[in-house]
């Protein structure tokens, strides 16, 4: 029987060995970094995804073929390119002039790779230098789509400083846009919404640009709209008005409880007193009273002055009573 000697190593010897291995590993890392930092010529493979604006068709498509060209890049980029594999996609925004209609198919379009060489270089930036690019044909399918004109609705949340308010409603420009997509999808959409506009403690007018909320499977004619809001300083005033009745039957008497309401209105701060400020009058309509279930109706202003920013009545409702004149005579 062969007996093996027990292998033993001193602490100092072990420490030197570990230090040697660490230095060897560090040297390998530095060598790898140096090599990967150098530029190499290699054939690169990409799919081309195109976004364009062809009327009545989908806005995006990806090439059926893979574009192959010879380029120079760093070892780091080449390693990353090989690691990504099928995920290597170049995304280009192209004018429709680059795409030619393929007569063989109703949805087919094609482009020549050499026509977009400059676009490719811009996309790749300084990471890849294109050395040679063959005049390959890249084919795309842009399916036909229907379109509708839909209104734009704003999602907003505003708060105002003391004695400040919106003079008008929020304005959007444009108020409607064209949307493209499958008919079944477009028929289920009534409005396009903006992303939320949230502003606090407003004391001056505002304006800006806001993006639209994307809708899966739908393309917009534009992705942003302009908004504006006029803000004014106001003063709040009130006046008591006696309620009159219109459209009443001559054979009936109509009364309200209460007989007077308080009109609370807002006007611009510092504005002079208009000539028609003494002509304010409130009324209720007998036709509305008779059609109501419980004879409770809202008082109305005979004429709303143009200088009113807004107004309300207190109380907001009054109770009406209709009595026949014959009943009173009896």
pLDDT attached to residue 1? 47
CATH of the domain at 251: 2.170.120.30
Would you say residue 14 lies in a domain?
A: no
Verify that 305 and 219 share a domain, yes or no.
no
CA distance 128 to 76: 11
Last residue of a domain, one of 118, 141, 164: 141
Contact status, residue 172 vs residue 225, Cβ threshold 8 Å = yes
Domain count, the chain: 3
Give dist(CA 215, CA 219) in Å, integer.
Answer: 8
Whether residues 169 and 184 share a domain: the answer is: yes
d(C-alpha 70, C-alpha 134), whole Å: 9
Same domain, 246 and 325: yes
**Regions of the chain with pLDDT less than 70:** 1-9, 11, 31-38, 75-76, 81, 83-87, 135, 272-278, 325-330
Q: For residue 110, what pLDDT is reported?
A: 92
Compute CA distances 195 → 155, 160, 176, 212, 228, whole Å.
6, 20, 15, 6, 15
Domain range holding 98?
Answer: 35-141
- The CATH number linked to 201 is 2.170.120.40
Q: Do 303 and 277 have their domain in common?
A: yes
Question: Based on the domain organization, do 68 and 93 belong to the same domain?
Answer: yes
Decide if 130 is inside a domain: yes
The confidence score (pLDDT) of residue 189 equals 92
């Amino acid at each position: 029987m062969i007996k093996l000697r027990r292998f033993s190593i001193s602490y100092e010897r072990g420490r030197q060995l570990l230090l040697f291995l660490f230095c060897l590993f560090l040297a390998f890392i530095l060598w790898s970094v140096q090599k990967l930092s150098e530029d190499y010529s290699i054939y690169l493979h990409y799919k081309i995804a195109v976004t364009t604006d062809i009327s009545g068709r989908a806005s995006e498509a990806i090439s059926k073929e893979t574009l192959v060209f010879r380029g120079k890049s760093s070892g780091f980029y080449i390693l990353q390119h090989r690691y990504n594999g099928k995920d290597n996609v170049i995304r280009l925004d192209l004018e429709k002039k680059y795409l030619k209609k393929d007569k063989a198919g109703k949805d087919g379009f094609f482009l020549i790779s050499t026509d977009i060489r400059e676009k490719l270089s811009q996309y790749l930036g300084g990471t890849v230098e294109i050395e040679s690019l063959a005049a390959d044909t890249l084919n795309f399918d842009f399916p036909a789509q229907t379109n509708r004109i839909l209104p734009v609705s704003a999602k907003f949340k505003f708060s105002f400083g003391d004695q400040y308010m919106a003079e008008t409603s929020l304005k959007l420009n444009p108020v409607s846009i064209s949307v493209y997509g499958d008919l079944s999808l477009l028929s289920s959409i009534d409005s396009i919404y903006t992303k939320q506009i949230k502003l606090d403690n407003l004391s001056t007018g505002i304006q800006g640009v806001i993006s639209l909320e994307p809708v899966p499977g739908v393309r917009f004619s534009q992705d942003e709209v302009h908004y504006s809001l006029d803000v004014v300083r106001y003063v709040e005033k009130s006046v008591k008005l006696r309620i009159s009745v219109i459209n009443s039957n001559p054979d009936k008497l109509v009364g309200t409880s209460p007989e007077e309401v308080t009109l609370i209105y807002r006007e611009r701060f510092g504005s002079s007193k208009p000539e028609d400020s003494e002509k304010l009058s409130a009324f209720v309509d007998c036709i509305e009273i008779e059609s109501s279930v419980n004879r409770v109706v809202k008082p109305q202003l005979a004429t709303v002055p143009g200088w009113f920013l807004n107004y309300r009545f207190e109380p907001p409702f009054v109770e009406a009573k209709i009595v026949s004149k014959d009943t009173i005579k009896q």
